A and B are shown apart, each in its own frame.
Chain A
């Protein structure tokens, strides 16, 4: 039973570029959440997708956008990259009909902006 998988594991970009990160949820899960974790900080919620729609959004600018596919996998897109976007980007999955069950996290994509 595969857990949450994210790709790529590492990525280096320059300011102004655009990036797409990918996430496959744990088997059987239908909800995907994305988090940004800066060095030394706890993860910060970006947004959550369910039934291919953004259901909740944290305090992140419109440069951050996402998508969920019919197979429940998801993408996080960031446009016009800034140095401050350097972080570990985490994907977490869960099952909507079991809201009290803990979210399962992938090991993230380390994004470095030069």
Chain B
């Protein structure tokens, strides 16, 4: 499974757009990219998933360049409730495989 690298922490203010970039240089052809959000004392929550180009849902966008060696999670107009740890993972599209989490990015949103 491809290893991922992401910033340890980020700060933002309410109403701003936050972009968290994840590096996955060794991503394989069958790998897809998934982002999870985790609040203290809760389990990770699925945010968004993609394979290439751009994916958008009601909470976030995921940008994946053509070489797929990185991806960027974009959170529009963050609020205090977006303060959490965000994990980037890559996994085989065809296998319900174990998930390999890094230490994630701790996002702190200030008023």
Contacts and interface: CB of A to CB of B under 8 A. Distances in A.
Contacts of B43: 4, 90, 92, 105-108
Contact of A58 (B36, B44, B92, B98): B98
Interface residues of A, number: 31
B98 A45 contact: yes
A74 interface: no
Interface centre among A41, A50, A103 (most CB of B within 10 A): A103
Interface stretch (A14-22, A64-72, A93-101): A93-101
Contacts of B101: 35, 42-44
Given A99-B95, A100-B94, A88 B41 contact: yes
A33 interface: yes
The majority secondary structure among interface residues of chain B is loop
Interface in B3-37: 32, 34, 36
B96 A31 contact: yes
Interface in B55-89: 87
Given A42-B87, A107-B43, A56 B103 contact: no
Contacts of A96: 96
Contacts of B92: 99
A104 interface: yes
A102 B96 contact: no
B38 to A, nearest CB: 9
A58 B45 CA distance: 22
Nearest to A6: B43
B2 interface: no
Contact of A45 (B42, B46, B99): B99
A58 to B, nearest CB: 6
Contacts of B103: 40-42
A105 B95 CA distance: 18
A56 B42 contact: no
Interface of A: 4, 31, 33, 35, 40-45, 48, 50, 56, 58, 88, 90, 92, 94-96, 98-100, 102-108, 110
